[in-house]
Amino acid sequence: MSEVLVLGIDYGTDSCRVAALDARTGKTAGEAVAAYPRWAAGLYCSPSENIFRQHPLDYLESLEAGMRGLSAALEAKGCGAKGLEAVAGIAFATTGSTPCLVDSRGMPLAMSAEFAQDPDGMFVLWKDHSAIAEAEEINRLSRSWGGEDFTKFSGGSYSPEWFWAKALHLVRANPRVGSAFHSILEHCDWMPLLLTETPLAMAKRSRCVAGHKAMWHERFGGFPSKSFLGFLDPRLAEARDTLGSGTFTADQVFGLLSPVWASRLGLKPGIPVAVGAIDAHIGAVGSGAGPGVLVKVMGTSTCDMIVAPKEGGGERLVQGICGQVDGSILPGMLGYEAGQSAFGDAYAWFKNLLSWPIEAILPEAEGVKEKIDASIMNVLGEEAGKIDPERSSVLALDWLNGRRTPDLAPFLKGALVGLTLGATAPMIFRALVEATAYGTRAIVERFEAQGVAIQGILALGGVARKSPLVMQIVADVLGRPIGIVGSDQTVALGAAMFAAVAAGVYPDIGQAQKALKPSIEHIVQPNPARGVVYDRLYAEYLELGRYAESLEARRP
Amino acid sequence: MSEVLVLGIDYGTDSCRVAALDARTGKTAGEAVAAYPRWAAGLYCSPSENIFRQHPLDYLESLEAGMRGLSAALEAKGCGAKGLEAVAGIAFATTGSTPCLVDSRGMPLAMSAEFAQDPDGMFVLWKDHSAIAEAEEINRLSRSWGGEDFTKFSGGSYSPEWFWAKALHLVRANPRVGSAFHSILEHCDWMPLLLTETPLAMAKRSRCVAGHKAMWHERFGGFPSKSFLGFLDPRLAEARDTLGSGTFTADQVFGLLSPVWASRLGLKPGIPVAVGAIDAHIGAVGSGAGPGVLVKVMGTSTCDMIVAPKEGGGERLVQGICGQVDGSILPGMLGYEAGQSAFGDAYAWFKNLLSWPIEAILPEAEGVKEKIDASIMNVLGEEAGKIDPERSSVLALDWLNGRRTPDLAPFLKGALVGLTLGATAPMIFRALVEATAYGTRAIVERFEAQGVAIQGILALGGVARKSPLVMQIVADVLGRPIGIVGSDQTVALGAAMFAAVAAGVYPDIGQAQKALKPSIEHIVQPNPARGVVYDRLYAEYLELGRYAESLEARRP
């Protein structure tokens, strides 16, 4: 076995995926997935209240199970345990912002006996909405306190899904964890800290997650100032001292794998572990993102990322997007992030709506639900594909989960207008697809209006590869070609690229991308005639959006 | 058998109902229904184009079949053929405007061999939309020709569903019928003409249908002037000469039953046949309508009627309703008509939408469609009833079939706004119900704003008696009690009342109503707390309506 392997570890919402790649060819030597056992059992969550917590042991157990699975996969190929010995570097991608209150060693409170069952001592998953009031407070304070507006690199608005809002909520809502915690760690920071047994004070915190989720910026001298945080809660001000002032891009080495963890995972001790980062950004790199390329991760929601060179060392502020961070995607470049808060989720909502009669009236009917489930999206797509958008009067607004970008407004809602007695399910489905495409166009137009040119678009994720109708409509609405990335595992692949840089196989991430990036599966070309129609309908969509904003503004 | 019977004959959209009532007690002696055979087979119609024609033979055959059924029903009660001999008067209620091109004897062209299969020689059913362009032309001409605006008693807008638009369409679209026809008869005028064998020139045309559907008004000297009609088509101007200038209320005798028809129907010859009228107006009388009482016939759509005394002989013009006609409902009073073009149809649309997966994916699954059909509306209603309108963000607009009143606008469309990923089928259903209630309120407010006071509300029709949730929401939105009329057959009952007046049993229709009107089944009381909430939501509905109007105005 003369090959050099690198390990990309991708912590998703439900499971941990470990993938070992040949560092020179990018070929997958083996991979394995392990679910989070407590999460799968529904523990520590309340979906109806949008409370989602994950126990740190879920991360550890799934990592160990994943490594056992990987070892078995390599063995099946005839490499056996020796395969893991060829691993020369590790990198982590995790969801984010997924922070946790930790003790002075950087251990999540839930790892102690006292807080083992306390959801407030666990990781607060990216989609947890406990902190809506706290995010509003941060936004108000930021605009009114007289000092720096710390939201300015976060699109002008701080989200309840992010680091400080969640930490503030935890320490206020739960005085016991509020007095027991010492610091706060994101999931992508905890993993390398743990595996390298690095003291907390020397942790190399991720630039990507700190910049996008915790308002870290060089111009601020790091995280928001102690006095600002003190207005929110003195405990946050104190915690700031534990965060350090520097942050690091994912091509840096966090530390070396400790002997204990090497043995637990079957790896060689002392191999480099890279600085962590958020899955979507790592996935953008894994897709081959370069300057001027918009990478759209299209699933239940979208994450839209683009990198742009800094101009004369300066940083252009783009209003109304989620955030912009130097080096969050590609080191040395500005990384911008935007997104649509409901994409595939809007289609799933309609599917669920149409499935209501079966659920409510015939929940026990044998095979009916299964048969509908198995084909409803395909049949809807087929029928919707036959509809001429000029002949359908139905127009939708895609904000069923609020609007993330442009211009964060979580309380906005979706709409369907132009309904007639002849409006059919496929017409409404098509209108929803068109609406999500209009939402994409609004983001693209915002970037370009603010001087971030978009030269190409890459799409990945479940929707991109599985829904040709959706992709064609998005291309038609944008009037631009879209390259579909030929891999379902761009996050693990991106992590492996960073692991390869950490291992010294490549001098920088650009070289790693060149060698390892996946092919473009195919290019969806826009239909210019449809584009003319959609230009008109897009104007109606914008008008509908203005109406929906005015409606929401007047509600009590 | 000393009883005196009167015969109410109700021609609906699908069938003819004959009901024999005891003229003194109002007790039903017997009734029967017969479907239109050609209509049931789908002949002469094209639903996707909104073309709906009915063959005159359908009316005759269903009448004869109905009379045979009635005879059998009476016989079953021990009255036998003698029962029919006790019939002392007949009155017809039909749909309208349902006109037909007729020859010089008043015979529909389709009764001749030449036109027996030509849909343009048949009755053009009320809901036929062939004449959209012609209605627009009539409206344009009426506003621009420099003479009288003949639409002024029709709410300021002439509908494609009405007499002149349909006649204009037929004579233009089909030159053969255009040159063969002599006059135009509404269904409710043809029936008494035929049964009494009255010469066309002596026909007593219905005030109700002429006033509401053909712009007849005393102040105009009758129908619109020859010069006005000549601008549309010289053949209409000629036809005007065949219409006479007078019109008659339904308490008048049209003529006496001819011996031939008496024998065909099993009745005594020479009994009086009343002047005809439109079913909804007859039904309002049959419900017990009096001055200041809004009668709402609530089914797939609504027909809202109210009578008001003339003020000092004058006539107040109400803008934006369907029409106002002296004597169209109660002789001697102004009859106003308004309506919502989709009421139950809006709910049926949603039911069909939810049934799409079954239809599209499992059309053959045994019993599934039937089970869903049997309970979906009940379960939707039950679940919707549990929803607090203040906690649901979903708001609907009920114009899925355009807006009839206030302010006719057939091209407006429905909407659903405030949609979230948590919006469920019952929430949307409730929003649709609330929207139809807001539509009702808009009509009530228009009447009152224009000086027609509404002192009470009576509801009848399928929705009124079968949907307590809908009726409660309508009462809450209006903030007024609603009396539910305790009869499903108010049209036949109203016709029987007019037959009783024609037969001389009562001196006038008021006396007939007093003796024969059905009881109020129960009164739905408004919930004042809900009313406060709905006042706010109604304002949002009006705003949504303004947006939908502006959207439609900008569409090409």
Identify the pLDDT of residue B2: 63
Contacts with B49 from chain A: Cβ below 8 Å: none
d(CA B79, CA B2): 11
Work out the minimum CA distance from B360 to partner chain A, whole angstroms.
8
Lowest mean pLDDT among B56-60, B94-98, B269-273, B486-490: B486-490
pLDDT averaged over every residue in chain B: 95
pTM of the model: 0.89
Q: Report CB contact under 8 Å: B357, A358.
A: yes
Percent of chain B scoring above 90 in pLDDT: 88
pLDDT band per the 50, 70, 90 thresholds, residue B27: very high
Place B81 in a pLDDT band, splitting at 50, 70 and 90: low
A553 touches chain B (CB under 8 A): no
| Low-confidence winner among A258-272, B72-86, B464-478 (lowest mean pLDDT) | B72-86
Chain B residues with CB under 8 Å of A553 CB are none
Q: What is the pLDDT of residue A344?
A: 95
State phi, psi for A9 to the nearest 5 degrees: -115, 120
Q: Say how far apart CA B330 and CA B249 lie, in whole Å.
A: 8
Which ipTM value was assigned to this complex? 0.89
CA dihedral A352, A356, A357, A360 (to 10 degrees): 140
Token look-up 């992508």 returns: A188
Q: Does domain B5-278 have CATH number 1.20.1630.10?
A: no
Which of B401, B423, B543 has its CB closest to that of A551?
Answer: B543
Local structure of residue B219 (DSSP, 8 states): G
Strand partners, B90: B7, B273
Q: What is the mean pLDDT of residues B500-521?
A: 96
d(CA A512, CA B446): 72
Inter-CA distances, B65 with B35, B264, B423, Å: 9, 11, 50
Integer angstrom CA distances of residue B299 from A290, B160, B542? 61, 21, 23
Q: Which pLDDT band, with edges at 50, 70 and 90, does A2 fall under?
A: low
pLDDT at A199 (0 to 100): 97
State the Cα–Cα distance between residues A26 and A493, nearest whole angstrom. 8
**Among A417, A536, A548, beta carbon nearest to B551:** A417
The answer on pLDDT for B376 being more than 90 is yes
Decide if pLDDT at B465 tops 80. Answer: yes
Using CA atoms, how far apart are residues A196 and A516, in angstroms rounded to an integer? 26
Contacts with B370 from chain A: Cβ below 8 Å: none
Q: Give residues 327 to 356 of B whose Cβ lies within 8 Å of A.
A: 342, 345-346, 349, 353-356
Query: Which pLDDT tens digit goes with each residue over B116-135?
Result: 999 999 999 999 999 999 99
**Mean pLDDT along residues B137-163:** 93
Q: Does position B534 have pLDDT exceeding 60, yes or no? A: yes
- The predicted pLDDT at position A66 comes to 98
Taking only the tens place, the pLDDT of each residue in A169-194 is: 999 999 999 999 999 999 999 999 99
CB B344 within 8 A of CB B409: no
What integer pLDDT is reported at residue B321 of this predicted model? 83
Q: What is the pLDDT of residue A314?
A: 64
pLDDT tens for each residue of A397-433: 999 999 999 998 888 999 999 999 999 999 999 999 9
Each residue of B161-209: pLDDT tens digit? 999 999 999 999 999 999 999 999 999 999 999 999 999 999 999 999 9
The mean pLDDT of chain A is 95
Which of B513, B372, B351 lies closest to B429 in space, CA to CA? B351
| Cα–Cα distance for residue pair B273/B194, rounded to 1 Å | 11
Residue A420 half-sphere exposure toward CB, CA atoms < 13 A: 13
Per-residue pLDDT at B316 exceeds 60? yes
pLDDT in tens, A70-106: 999 999 988 655 789 999 999 999 999 999 999 999 9
**Confidence (pLDDT) at B290:** 94
pLDDT at position B190, please?
98
pLDDT at B318: 83
For chain A, give the longest Cα–Cα distance: 69
Tokens (6 digits) for B169: 């369409």
Helix (H), strand (E) counts: chain B:
20, 21
Token code pair at residue A271: 């191999």
pLDDT for the residue B1? 44
Rounded CA-CA distance B285/B329 in Å is 7
Q: Which of A172, A173, A140 is nearest to A236 (CA)?
A: A172
Q: Is the pLDDT of residue B80 over 60?
A: no
- The ranges assigned to domains in chain B are 5-278
Vertex B207, ends B206 and B213: CA angle to 5°? Answer: 90
Six-digit token string for A215: 């308002």
The answer to whether residues B257 and B90 touch, using CB atoms and an 8 Å cutoff, is: yes
Taking the C-alpha atoms of residue A84 and residue B77, their distance in angstroms, rounded to an integer, is: 95
Residue A1: what pLDDT? 44
Length of chain B in terms of residues written: 556
Residue ranges of B 400-439 with Cβ closer than 8 A to chain A: 400-401, 413-421, 423-425, 428
Q: What is the pLDDT of residues B545-556, one digit of tens each?
A: 999 999 999 887
pLDDT of B82 above 80? no
